[in-house]
Structure 1
Amino acid sequence: MSSKDDLTATRLRELPAVDRVLTLLGPLPGAAEAVRCELSQARAALLAGAEQAPSAERLAQAARSRLLAAGAAAYPPVVNASGVVLHTGLGRAPLAASAAAALAAADRYALVELDPADGQRRHREHAVVEQLQELTGAEAATVLNNNASALLLLLHAVADGRPVIVSRGELIEIGGGFRLPDLLRLSGCPLIEVGTTNRTYVADFAERLTWETGLVLAMHTSNYRVQGFTHAPELSELCELAHTSAVPLAFDTGSGLLLPPDPAWGLADEPDARTALAAGADLVCFSGDKLLGGPQAGVLLGRAELVARCRRHPLFRALRPDRLTLSALAATLELHRSAPSDVPVLAALARSAGERRQAAMALSRALRVAVPGASFEVVDSEGSVGSGSAPARPLPSAAVRVVVEGLPAEQLATRLRNGDPSVFSRVWRGQVQFDVAALRPDDEARLVQALTAALA
C-alpha cells in the first residue's frame, strides 16, 4: 500500500461514528438515514483526495440541512438579530403566544359565519368588530386582507369615481413600488393634489372642494419625514372643513396604533385610531401586522353608514380575510384590551436602552461560555422600529459584536442565515453584530446553537 493510500485510510478512520453524529443531531425523523448519506458523501470526498475529514458537528449540521430541505416548513422561523423590530422581509410583527394558539385551534371547522343561537348567517368578522369598537370608540368596523385593500375598497365604495383631494406632501410610495397615485387611478377616482411637498394649509383644500368632491384623504407619511420649513393642517381642521362641505374624510394611519402610545414606546409622532376618530375622521384604516402586533390584515373603522357601504361593495368579498387571520387578530386585540405588554412588538419597544444593554451583556456571556472559537464584545447600536413606522426615530439599542479569526464577516453572516436555526444578523463595518432590539425571550439559546453550528 502506498503512502498516499495510508494517508487516505487514516483520514477515513477519522470520520466520526454514526451514533456520535446522531447524538448531536437529536431525535429527528429520518435522522439516521440523513447521517449515513452525509458520511457516504464524506467518504467519497476523502477517496477523491479531500485532505480533511469533516467533524461530527459539521456532519450533524449537514444532516440537519438535508432533513430541512426534504421536509421543512416553507417559511421556517428565524432569529431576528438585525435590530429591526418590524422587519418586512421577516414577516413584520411576531405573533403573541395566544395568537399562535388561536391559529393552531383554527385548523378545524370553526364558527366563522354562523350564529350558534339560531344557525343563521352573520358577518365573519363579528368578534373582532366588537373588540375594535371597544378599543377605538368606532361606530363600526370591518377587516380586509391588508391595508392597501382597505384603502382601495374605501376609494371604490365611498369616493365612487369622484375626485379625491390629497396633500401633495402625502403622495406616498411604500415598499414594492406601491404608489398612492397609482391606487387612485386603479379606483377610477381623479386625483386632486393640493399644497406643496413641504407646506400645505387648510385653505389649499378649501380652494379645491366642490360639490363633485368624493373624498378628502389624509395619509400618515409613516415611512419618511419632511423636516425644517414645513406645515401640515391639523386633522381636526381638515375634518371640520370636509364636514362643512358634506364630504367624508378618510385617514390612513398606516402603522396600526389603536390608542395613544405609552411614552415608553417612543412613538409620540405616530397617530392612533381612537384619537383620529375623536378628531372627526369618518373612516380610519391601518395595517394589522405592524404596531398592532397581529397578522397581516387591513382594519377599516369609522361611521357605521360608510363602513356598511364598504361591506356592500362587490370588492369586499374579494378582499376579505379568512378564519386564520381573524382568529389571530381576535387574540391580539384581546391582549390590547387586557395585557398590552404581552404583545411582542410593544414589549420590544417598551424596553429601555439600559435593559437592552443588559440583555446584550447576558447574551455575550452565554456565547463566550458556549463558543470558545470566537471573541465577543458588547457595543452600542442603533436599531429601528421598521416597516415604515417611526422612520425619524432611531431605537437606542445594544449588540454583541462577533469576531472569528480567519472568517470574514460576510461569510459568517451567510452561514448564519443558512443554518438551523436561521439567524439574520447585522454586518457593520466588516463585523457581524447580534442586535438585541428584536430578540425574543428564547432567542439566546438559539443564537448559541446557530453560532456553534456555523463554526463547526
Structure 2
Amino acid sequence: MPKSLLRNLAPVHEMIDDEEIQKYVRELGKELVTNLIREVQDKLRNDILEEKANIISFIKESKEDSDVQMYRLIKDELLERLDKKVESNFQQVINGTGTVLHTNLGRAPLSSEVMEKLSDTVTNYSNLEFDLDSGRRGSRYSHIESIIKDLTGAESAIVVNNNAAAVMLTLSALANDKEVIISRGELVEIGGSFRIPDVMKQSGAHLVEVGTTNKTHYSDYENAITDETGMLLKVHTSNYEIVGFTEGVSREELVQIGHDNGVYVVEDLGSGLLFDLSKYGLQYEPTINDVLKSGVDLVTFSGDKLLGGPQAGIIAGKKELVDKIKSNQLTRALRIDKLSLKALEETFRIYLNPEKAFKQIPVLYLLTQSLNDIEKRGKELKSKLESSVIKNSFHICLEKNVSRVGGGAMPTQDLETWTVVLKGDNSKLYDLWNSLREKNPPVISRLQNEKLIFDLRTIKEQELDTVVENLEACMTRE
C-alpha cells in the first residue's frame, strides 16, 4: 500500500492554483512557493517510502479518499511553512521580565518621538555627507558633534557603530604598537566573549596589567610607565562589582599620573549616562560630564544602554585626539549608518530638555517610574486575568519583586517592582511559558520557583490586553 499512495500526490500546478496558496504566491512569488511545495512533497514521499507508522495509520483511518487526505497533509504543512516565511524573524516582543536593558531583547527601546523624526530623513535623500552651506562633500559626524559637545562639555566627538568599536578605534589611533596600562581588576568581558584584552590585541596596542584583581595602587601605574607607554586606560566595571578588601586609583589620580608623564588617559565608561540617577533612588553611576570634568583626555560609551538610543559607540573629549581618530583608516570600517546616526541625533536632542527626557526616553522613564504606577498596572492586569479562563487553571496574585537594570549596568541595583504571578501545576506553567513565546507578539516572562512571573515595570499599559489575549489563546489551544 505505501508505494501506491505516491500516485495520489497532487501535481505542483494543482497546489499552486489553490485559492489559499495563491495569496502567498502574490506575496512571496511563484518560484519560492513552488520550491516549498516540492520540499513538502519530497518529505511526505520519503515518509511513505520509509513506512512511517503515523503517516500510514493516519491515511488508513481517514474516512476520506487517500488522495484528499494526502492533499490535506501537504497543504497543512505547506501553509505552516508559508506563514513562517511571511512573518518577520526580527519582531516586536512584550518584555515581561522586568529587565529594562535586556540584551537579548534589543536593549534600549527607542523613543516614539525619535521614530517620528526618522521617516522623512531616511525614506528620502539626505545631506548625510553633503555640506549644504558650501555645496561640497561634508562629514556625517558634523550632524551630531555639536550637540554632543553641548551636552557633555567635550571639545570634540565622533560616533561609530558600537562601543567595542569605539574602544578599539581609540587604541588603534592613539596607541598602536605602544603599551597601554590597565588595572588587572578592569580587564572585563564586555559580553558574548568579547574581552578588553582581545579588543586591545586587535587594535595593535600592547597590554600591560598592573595591580591585582582586588587592589591596584597609585604606585603600580607610576612604576609601569616606560618610554613605550602610550596610554593609561580605565575601564568602568559597570557589569560587576568587587567588594570587600579592595582599593583602586580614582580617575582624578590617573589623570594626574598621565599628565605628569605625558601619557593619554582614556576611560571606557561603557554604559554612558548624561544625568545623575541617584536622586531617583538608584545607585550613583558616573556621568559622561563627570568623567570629562575629571580631566581624562577621552571617554567612550554606548548609545543603546543607559543613554537610551540606538546601537552606537561615542568617543568624546580633546579635539586634537578626536581629529587623529577621524583620520584613522579603521574609522570608515567602523562608521555608523545613517539610520542609527539620525536616531542618535534625535535622542540627544531630547536630552536638551531634561524634563522632557525623563518622559520621552523609555529607559529613563522605566528606571525612574513610580512604584505606584507599576502597582496600578499590576492591579489592572490581575483584574483582567481574574475575568478570563486563566482563573480556572492557575492561582493569580499580585506580588512585590525586584527588577534589574540590565545591559551590564548597575549589577547590584535592586529596583523594587510589582509583578503578577501565576501559580499552579509546574508542568503547565512551563508549557505556558513556552507557548507565550510562539504568539504574535511573543510575551517573554520569568519562570522561577514554580511561578510564572510578569513584571509590570517593563509591560506598557497598552500591552496589558495583548498579554491577556495571548494567555487565553495558549490556554484554549491546550
The TM-score, its normalising length taken from structure 2, stands at 0.80
Aligned match of 1:367: 385
**Take 1:94 and 1:67, find their aligned partners in 2: how far apart are those partners?**
30
1:424 maps onto 2:441 in alignment: no
1:400 maps onto 2:432 in alignment: no
CA RMSD in angstroms comes to 2.4
Conservation of the 8 A alpha-carbon contact between 2:101 and 2:108: yes
One of 202, 206, 214 as aligned partner of 1:190 = 206
Aligned match of 2:50: none
Aligned match of 2:69: none
Q: CA deviation at 1:64?
A: 11
**Take 2:336 and 2:363, find their aligned partners in 1: how far apart are those partners?**
22
- Secondary structure (helix, strand or coil) at the match of 2:248 reads coil
Aligned match of 2:369: 351
**Take 2:469 and 2:277, find their aligned partners in 1: how far apart are those partners?**
36
- Secondary structure (helix, strand or coil) at the match of 1:152 reads helix
- Secondary structure (helix, strand or coil) at the match of 1:102 reads helix
Q: Provide, for residues 194-237 of structure 1, a one-character-per-residue CA deviation record: whole Å limited to 9, x for no partner.
A: 11111112211111112321000000011111001111111111
1:311 maps onto 2:326 in alignment: yes
Conservation of the 8 A alpha-carbon contact between 1:265 and 1:349: no
**Take 2:352 and 2:59, find their aligned partners in 1: how far apart are those partners?**
62
Mark the CA change 1:48 to 1:81 in structure 2 (over 3 Å): closer, same or farther: farther
One of 448, 456, 466 as aligned partner of 1:436 = 456
**Take 1:245 and 1:365, find their aligned partners in 2: how far apart are those partners?**
66
**Take 1:390 and 1:333, find their aligned partners in 2: how far apart are those partners?**
22
Q: CA deviation at 1:180?
A: 0.9
The TM-score, its normalising length taken from structure 1, stands at 0.83
Conservation of the 8 A alpha-carbon contact between 1:162 and 1:212: yes
Equivalent AA in structure 1 for residue 398 of structure 2: V
Conservation of the 8 A alpha-carbon contact between 2:424 and 2:451: no
Q: CA deviation at 1:80?
A: 0.4
One of 92, 96, 107 as aligned partner of 1:77 = 92
Q: Provide, for residues 27-50 of structure 1, a one-character-per-residue CA deviation record: whole Å limited to 9, x for no partner.
A: xx99xxxxxxxxxxxxx9899579
Q: CA deviation at 1:67?
A: 7.1
Taking only the aligned residue pairs, the percentage that are identical comes to 37
**Take 2:280 and 2:62, find their aligned partners in 1: how far apart are those partners?**
60
Equivalent AA in structure 1 for residue 94 of structure 2: V
**Take 1:402 and 1:111, find their aligned partners in 2: how far apart are those partners?**
53
1:228 maps onto 2:244 in alignment: yes
**Take 2:221 and 2:368, find their aligned partners in 1: how far apart are those partners?**
38
Moved more, 241-250 or 259-268: 259-268
Conservation of the 8 A alpha-carbon contact between 2:155 and 2:319: yes
Mark the CA change 1:393 to 1:46 in structure 2 (over 3 Å): closer, same or farther: farther
- Secondary structure (helix, strand or coil) at the match of 1:385 reads strand
1:448 maps onto 2:468 in alignment: yes
**Take 1:111 and 1:85, find their aligned partners in 2: how far apart are those partners?**
34
Q: CA deviation at 1:344?
A: 0.3
Aligned match of 2:117: 102
Mark the CA change 1:45 to 1:85 in structure 2 (over 3 Å): closer, same or farther: farther
**Take 2:428 and 2:336, find their aligned partners in 1: how far apart are those partners?**
45
Q: CA deviation at 1:366?
A: 2.2
**Take 1:356 and 1:64, find their aligned partners in 2: how far apart are those partners?**
41
One of 346, 357, 363 as aligned partner of 1:340 = 357
Conservation of the 8 A alpha-carbon contact between 2:130 and 2:138: yes
- Secondary structure (helix, strand or coil) at the match of 1:299 reads strand
Q: How does 1:24-423 map to 2 (within 5 A)?
A: 48=61, 68-105=83-120, 106-261=122-277, 263-264=279-280, 266-268=282-284, 270-338=285-353, 339-341=356-358, 342-371=360-389, 372-373=391-392, 374-403=394-423, 408-423=428-443
Q: CA deviation at 1:262?
A: 5.1
- Secondary structure (helix, strand or coil) at the match of 2:151 reads helix
**Take 1:276 and 1:248, find their aligned partners in 2: how far apart are those partners?**
14
Conservation of the 8 A alpha-carbon contact between 1:260 and 1:275: no
Q: CA deviation at 1:453?
A: 1.6
Equivalent AA in structure 2 for residue 385 of structure 1: V
Conservation of the 8 A alpha-carbon contact between 2:175 and 2:204: no
Q: Provide, for residues 168-190 of structure 1, a one-character-per-residue CA deviation record: whole Å limited to 9, x for no partner.
A: 10010121111111111112211
Q: CA deviation at 1:129?
A: 1.2
**Take 1:48 and 1:128, find their aligned partners in 2: how far apart are those partners?**
69
Mark the CA change 1:227 to 1:49 in structure 2 (over 3 Å): closer, same or farther: farther
**Take 2:95 and 2:281, find their aligned partners in 1: how far apart are those partners?**
19
Equivalent AA in structure 2 for residue 84 of structure 1: T
Unaligned runs of 5+ in 1: 1-28, 31-43, 51-61
**Take 2:295 and 2:79, find their aligned partners in 1: how far apart are those partners?**
56
Q: Provide, for residues 385-425 of structure 1, a one-character-per-residue CA deviation record: whole Å limited to 9, x for no partner.
A: 00100001122112111246686211101100111110110
- Secondary structure (helix, strand or coil) at the match of 2:352 reads helix
**Take 1:439 and 1:119, find their aligned partners in 2: how far apart are those partners?**
48
Paired residues, number: 403
**Take 1:46 and 1:418, find their aligned partners in 2: how far apart are those partners?**
29
Q: Provide, for residues 58-101 of structure 1, a one-character-per-residue CA deviation record: whole Å limited to 9, x for no partner.
A: xxxx9998775232223110000011111111110011102222
Mark the CA change 1:323 to 1:48 in structure 2 (over 3 Å): closer, same or farther: farther
**Take 2:452 and 2:59, find their aligned partners in 1: how far apart are those partners?**
33
Q: CA deviation at 1:164?
A: 0.1
**Take 1:449 and 1:125, find their aligned partners in 2: how far apart are those partners?**
46
- Secondary structure (helix, strand or coil) at the match of 2:205 reads coil
Mark the CA change 1:441 to 1:397 in structure 2 (over 3 Å): closer, same or farther: same
**Take 1:65 and 1:245, find their aligned partners in 2: how far apart are those partners?**
67
Equivalent AA in structure 2 for residue 340 of structure 1: A
Conservation of the 8 A alpha-carbon contact between 2:377 and 2:461: no
- Secondary structure (helix, strand or coil) at the match of 1:442 reads helix
Conservation of the 8 A alpha-carbon contact between 1:380 and 1:399: yes
Q: CA deviation at 1:440?
A: 2.7
Q: CA deviation at 1:311?
A: 0.6
**Take 2:80 and 2:460, find their aligned partners in 1: how far apart are those partners?**
23
**Take 1:183 and 1:278, find their aligned partners in 2: how far apart are those partners?**
27
Conservation of the 8 A alpha-carbon contact between 2:426 and 2:450: no
